Amino acid sequence: MKKLLVLMLIVTLAVGFAPAAAQGGQFAGQTVVVVTQTGRSIGGPVEDYAPEWEAATGGNVELQQFAFGELYEKMIASFETGAIDYDVLIFPADWAGDFMAPGYLEPIPQEILDKLEPEDIIPLYADRITAWGETRYALPYDGDAHMLYYRKDLIFNEEYSAEFEAQYGYPLKEPASWDEYYDMAEFFNGKEVETAGTVAPIYGLAEAMRRDAQSYWVFLSHAAGYGKIPGNPCFFFSCDDMTPQVNNPGWVRALEEYVASRSYGPPEMINWDVADTRVQFPAGVSVFNIDWGDVGPISINPNASVIGGVTGFAPLPGGVQYWDYVKGEWVNEYNQAPFIAFGGWIIGVAAGSDVKEAALDFAAFMARPELVRVLAVTPDTGINPSRYSQLENIDLWVNAGFDEESAADYVDAILNTINHPNAVLDLRIRGSAEYLQTLDVEIARAVEGEISAQEALDNVAAHWNEITDRYGRDSQLAQYRASVGWTGE
């Protein structure tokens, strides 16, 4: 941790920001209202660094934060009513269709983009998630994709491996398939193991399951391996006619397993959101966890983790078979399909802001390369790697507190996820928040045992058709094809 703090101090002093457009108090008397989600993750960096921008420019920053479950409604209401309550919005990239397509956001001037070292940003995060059509409406800030975390000291333990192989017929290893993942979760669930010198029962897994708390992205990570057809980028809908695929047998199998996995985690896991699992897994509660890249830096923070140095990192497991909705049949082939969940938090400026120049300057201040590199290696910022310089420089992570093996393992897991040829991009068309909210509601009903997985996903498909028809099926189809790069071949 000492290394981390020293690094942060050195880098912060070294970059001691000179806001791009603002020097000499030129924004004196202007207040930039920034909105994002509640908590230290994503909002914390604004709290920490805004005073630096205020001192340099004379402007003021007012941070407003809302629970994730109400964040979209707050933002879209500000636009649709014309109130323009917020000048800078830090929001999920998959809301781009709702914010960019109607022209609610200010196009980002090229001179700002040029100062962000654009050649260093991974194209997925530089281009695809920040633009609508040919116009760039947001600044890249965060790089998101789901990955698997596990306890190396337990999975690569000879005694446990022999016991596991006798029971399941194959040795313990980093799980490649969901079948293996669940076998291992079952094997360890309730077993007494040593964690940081203490022997106690451990749970098999810790996954977010609570409604209104980003849990549906965890389910989607399970669904990708069963529902994504290799070579076909159209996962959520058919690219022929926008038929929802959410209730096909692949997705249903994934939800059935997701619901059943409650028995491999703590009883209270049904009420856990992502933030909860980021506390519980590093505390040694479970063998497995699924999350964005945040758990990496948290796992090596001695104030929050007892599993530093024994945490393994890997791309998500795949399905042992997948549903080919084009042919209408199961294909009995292994299918790994890492999920680029969320895509990342990006920064936009309201087109109707009355302090637009100051807002653009503050947005550029928060997205500057030097700061983003610091935030990615700092626990609890919510900012994950999005730049080549973050993933090609092992020393960056070693200096932050990783041992060399763990640093290489962490970086490889991210690169193997975002570079995977069968990776699934998140939904990014008009109404994406509404589509995903209906999924969230019905998943929660299935998890709580109110309805079956099939009933839940049939309900989602019906809702999705209603949403598609309301926005216009032809325009939604065109957006979806463009968003996944569908070429018709």
What are the pLDDT digits (tens) for 28-53?
999 999 999 999 999 999 999 999 99
Both structure tokens of 377: 């290696």
pTM to 2 decimals? 0.90
Given a cut of 70, whether residue 17 has pLDDT beyond it is no
Query: What is the predicted pLDDT for the residue at 18?
Result: 54
Other CB atoms within 10 A of residue 102 CB: 14
Query: What is the predicted pLDDT for the residue at 134?
Result: 86
Query: What is the predicted pLDDT for the residue at 347?
Result: 98
Strand 339-340 relative to strand 424-425, pairing:
parallel
Other CB atoms within 10 A of residue 174 CB: 19
Given a cut of 70, whether residue 293 has pLDDT beyond it is yes
Q: How far apart are CA 175 and CA 93, in angstroms?
A: 30
Of 37, 33, 41, the residue nearest 380 (C-alpha): 41
| DSSP-assigned beta bridge partners for residue 205 | 288
Both structure tokens of 205: 């897994």
Q: How far apart are CA 378 and CA 373, in angstroms?
A: 9
Give every CB contact of residue 197 below 8 A, 6+ residues apart in sequence: none
Q: Residue 26's pLDDT band (boundaries 50, 70, 90)? A: very high
Mean per-residue pLDDT, 183-212: 97
Query: What is the predicted pLDDT for the residue at 11?
Result: 45
Q: Estimate the crossing angle of helix 158-168 against helix 178-188, to 10 degrees.
A: 110
Mean per-residue pLDDT, 177-185: 98
Query: Do 324 and 312 touch, CB atoms closer than 8 A?
Result: no
Q: How far apart are CA 220 and CA 94, in angstroms?
A: 14
Query: What is the predicted pLDDT for the residue at 2?
Result: 38
What is the percentage of the chain residues whose pLDDT exceeds 70?
95
Both structure tokens of 104: 């609610």
| DSSP-assigned beta bridge partners for residue 331 | 322
Q: Estimate the crossing angle of helix 68-80 against helix 432-447, to 10 degrees.
A: 150
Q: How far apart are CA 206 and CA 311, in angstroms?
A: 14
Query: What is the predicted pLDDT for the residue at 19?
Result: 53
Residue written as token pair 């933002």: 75
Given a cut of 90, whether residue 179 has pLDDT beyond it is yes
